[in-house]
Amino acid sequence: MGLDRPHAREQLELELVREVVLARRRLDSMVLAALTLGAELLDHTSERAAATRAVQILEQYAIDETEVARDPRGALRADMARDHERACRIGLNTASNGSEQDRRRRRQTALLCEVRADLLDVIRKCRKFRLDRVAFADEIAQGLCAATDKLVVGADMETYRAWQRGIILKLIEEPVPFGPPRVMATVDAGPDRGPLTVEWDSCERRLALVARLARAGIPPVVICDRLLADLSVSSPLRYSLR
């Protein structure tokens, strides 16, 4: 059969690689074009001007199919390198050779994002109780408890107890190879103990925040709002939305 010949198999493989690269590049092109046009829409005063600019942007982001056809494997390697560089630039590099501290930080960041998404989902579901304040408060309280349980899973209790004191002595930024800087806080760990340096963007600090607000008698709805706002910002030293 034709495909049993090495040359035929190689040609089929090249064709498959070419189609994959073209599909990926076409999708990237459309997304970038849409984002670019969306950022400019308010600057256009008429539909005609917007349509003209859309054509220009599509031409700007048009892909070179002849380059891909000439060397499909080379194009795929270039795309993989570009994707890796993008992931590194935004802090999504998950290389297995990172330190245990880096891996723990990635796990904790993913958990914080999950807790934030859970709280937002609870709030969306609670819209149907807008006219029933008791039901709304109960749903928020349950969602807050579930979020707190998840934070406990990712927390170190010794660090949590240090954050409970709420005495921050110093905040600094530490550069990391990929992604935004890590913010480290020096906190008072208590009597007969030296200061403890811990990460600001952590489960432990959010747990301590919830505990302090609850002890102060703050309603769960307000605590949820405060926690959600805190989870949305990863650094107190710069405007850094998660």
Distance CA 166, CA 190 (A): 10
Q: Looking at residue 216, what is its pLDDT?
A: 93
Q: Looking at residue 96, what is its pLDDT?
A: 46
Q: Which residues in the chain show pLDDT less than 50?
A: 1, 96-97
CB-based contact 72:14 (threshold 8 Å): yes
Q: Looking at residue 178, what is its pLDDT?
A: 64
CB-based contact 183:171 (threshold 8 Å): yes
Q: Looking at residue 89, what is its pLDDT?
A: 61
CB-based contact 200:236 (threshold 8 Å): yes
Q: Which residues pair with 186 in a beta bridge?
A: 170, 197
Q: Looking at residue 6, what is its pLDDT?
A: 63
